[in-house]
Amino acid sequence: MNLSSQMPLKDTGERMIPTGEGEISYVFARHKFAYAYARQYARSRRVLDLGCGTGYGCRILSDVAQSVVGIDHDPEAIEYCSKNFPASNVSYIRSDISDVRFRNEFDLGVSFQVIEHMRDLELFLLKLTTAVVSGGTIIITTPNVRIPTPERDANPFHANEMNAAQFHRLLSDHFSSFELSGIGYASPSILRTIVQNSPLYRIGKFLTRKSVVKRIASASLGLTDFRVLRSDVESNSIDLLAICKNERPSAT
């Protein structure tokens, strides 16, 4: 599947822009991995992507899903989705989270790298769980922020960054059953660890997506190859991955 985009969209840092031909983005590769992994849950299902961003994920899921509805608050992003990633079984809707009115209309709800942007977590989870049928599946990813981000490096678009323990507590309050896993590199690499912990790694933020250095680093360090982690989630995950059954925990 070709996920390169044709219509330009200004990269503000708020959402993930898909890579074009000859481009490398370690972060986009990680985000795309989550959608590829979720395909197994989407087969022949009615799917909601809450916070669909630029729409590449809806397109990935649409190959196996019965239908996909992508929702985002930004009209420019929705226009980008419609022009770059259309499909006969995909609909894109512009809506703020407070205006989402779906009720029991989806078998699967996904929301990848969105919850950290939400100031009102209760409202966000209410809208997601209400939209999905009881007993359906909800999949959520969020960055694994093991150490609080220094203010100078903080993402201005993030309002609720969590580590594994914090995310687990949040999920426990809203779901009777869930599996908390992680997304990490496909294979261990001592060299990758050394490079990532060195000042040189910060230089990568200033390299373009077509940088030869990025291409070499990706190939030699495995920076775009990922797998789902079932153990050592808190210490080794880049992102946290929750597979939830859409049922409220019993009142105690």
pLDDT for res 50: 98
State the pLDDT confidence band at 150, using cuts at 50, 70 and 90.
low
3: confidence class by pLDDT, cuts 50, 70, 90:
low
**Residue 152: is its pLDDT beyond 60?**
no
pLDDT at residue 155 in the model: 72
Which band of pLDDT confidence, cut at 50, 70 and 90, is reported for residue 250? confident
Q: Note the pLDDT tens digit of each residue in 167-184.
A: 999 999 999 999 999 999
Question: What is the pLDDT at residue 6?
Answer: 59
On whether the CB atoms of residues 47 and 35 are closer than 8 A, the answer is: no
Is 40's pLDDT higher than 90? yes
Q: What is the pLDDT of residue 154?
A: 66
pTM above 0.75, yes or no: yes
Domain with CATH 3.40.50.150 in the chain: 26-186+227-245
Terminal-residue alpha carbon distance, the chain? 48
For 121-127, what is the mean pLDDT?
96
> Does the pLDDT value for residue 2 go beyond 70?
no
Please compute, for residue 16, the number of CA atoms within 13 A of its CA located in the half-sphere on the CB side. Answer: 21
Quick one: tokens of 213? Answer: 């250095």
Report the CATH architecture of 26-186+227-245. Answer: 3-Layer(aba) Sandwich (3.40)
Structure confidence by residue, pLDDT tens digits, 189-236: 988 888 888 876 777 777 888 898 888 888 889 999 999 999 999 999
Residue type, 122: E
- Mean pLDDT throughout 12-39? 89
Q: Compute the distance between CA of residue 18 and CA of residue 28 in angstroms, rounded to an integer.
A: 7
**Strand (E) positions, the chain?**
46-50, 67-72, 90-94, 106-112, 132-143, 177-185, 226-229, 239-245
Q: Tell me: the pLDDT tens digits for 53-94?
A: 999 999 999 999 999 999 999 999 999 999 999 999 999 999
For position 13, what pLDDT does the model report?
65
**Max alpha carbon distance in the chain (Å)?**
57
Q: Check residue 44 and give left, alpha or beta (phi > 0: left; psi -120 to 50: alpha).
A: left
Q: How far is CA 208 from the centre of its chain?
A: 22
Q: Is the pLDDT of residue 11 over 80?
A: no
